[in-house]
Amino acid sequence: MLILSVDTSGRQGSLALTRGGPDSFDLLELVPLAGGMYSASLIPELVSLLTRHRFQKKDLEGFAVVSGPGSFTGLRVGLAAVKGLAEILQRPIATVSMLEAVAAQTNRDGSVLAAMDAGRKEIFAGEYSVQAGEPGLVRESLLTQAQFSELLEAKRGAELITPDIVVAELAVAHLQIRQIEWPDAGKIARLGWNKLRKGQTVTTEALEANYIRRSDAEIFATS
C-alpha cells in the first residue's frame, strides 16, 4: 500500500511517502515543510514528491494524518488537503494524535505519559498503555502546570516522553524522562499503516481536528 503521511500540526511539519506490506514498511522519502507556509507549500511539495517517484495522485492507496493537538491553522490545512484527496480518490484515512506518536517512541511496555508544551503555561498530556510497542489511549487532556505536576505524582511508575525541554524541566523531579526529537511524518506513517491494515480508519465526513484546547473565538463566545 502506497501511503501519504501529512503533519502540519506544529511549527515545523513534513510529508512522507511510504509503502507498507504484510511484513515490511519502507520510507520512500520525507519532505520537510516550513511552518507558517503550509497553505502555500503543501500541495506543490506533494506534487513534486509524487513526480520524483514517478507516481500520480491516483497511485496513493491510503493516508495518515496528524489530527492534533497543535496549531489551529496548521491542522486545518493538513486535514483539508487529506480530506479532499481521500474523497476524490476514495481512499482510507488513518488519524494519528501527535501525543500518540510521542508515546510510541517508548522502548518498553506499560504505562507511558506523552506531554507537549501547549503554551500559556499549559501542557498537552496523553496517558497511554503500551502493549507490544503499540500505545493504547487512556486519556488526553489540557492541563495547567499544577495539574500536570499532580498527574506526574499519581503516575510515579510511568515513563514520561516529551519533545519539549520545558516539559522535561517540569517533570525532572517526578518521573523517568525520555526527551526525543519531534516525530516526523515518517513515524506518523508507520502508526497510520498499522491502523490502515487493521481497518481503524475514519471517513472523510468524520475527519476532524482534535484540538484538545478550544480556540480563542470559542472561549470568548462563551465567556
- 2-98+183-222 is classed in which CATH architecture? 2-Layer Sandwich (3.30)
At 176 the pLDDT is: 79
> Phi-psi bin for 120: left (phi > 0), alpha (psi -120 to 50), beta?
left
Closest residue by Cα to residue 59 from 98, 34, 85: 85
Residue-wise pLDDT tens digits, 27-86: 999 999 998 899 999 999 999 999 999 999 999 999 999 999 999 999 999 999 999 999
Same CATH topology for 2-98+183-222 and 105-179: the answer is yes
Instruction: Give residue limits of the domains in the chain.
Output: 2-98+183-222, 105-179
CATH code reported for the domain at 105-179: 3.30.420.40
pTM here is 0.92
- For residue 84, the SS3 value is helix
